[in-house]
Amino acid sequence: MTKITIALAALASLAAVGASAQEVKLKQAPGVDAVEANCQACHTLAYIPMNSPFLNAAGWDAEVTKMIKAFGAPIDDGDAKAIADYLKKNYGT
């Protein structure tokens, strides 16, 4: 059995214990408060590191705009800018 197979089998036995909730620790930098306050009502914060580090400034602008325009995220202009700046600086390219 490969190491991976053993690991999977052992993890399966943890099912009775219950899986731990997804932990996403965002980089602690200016703007992270606005992200944590506005970006986890609908989904996990994990979407942010998941989509990193390849999005450029235009890419993160487009993401924040999509959340507000397409998905109805109730985020005001000031917060949207702070969030986009944070994402570009800490999760962008």
Give the Cα-Cα-Cα angle 85, 91, 92 (nearest 5 degrees).
75
- How many residues of this chain interact with other proteins, rule: CB under 8 A? 40
The residue within the footprint of ligand HEC, chosen from 6, 11, 42, 58 (CB under 6 A), is 42
Closest approach of other proteins to the CB of residue 66, in Å: 9
The residue within the footprint of other proteins, chosen from 29, 30, 37, 46 (CB under 8 A), is 46
The residue within the footprint of ligand HEC, chosen from 47, 59, 81, 89 (CB under 6 A), is 47
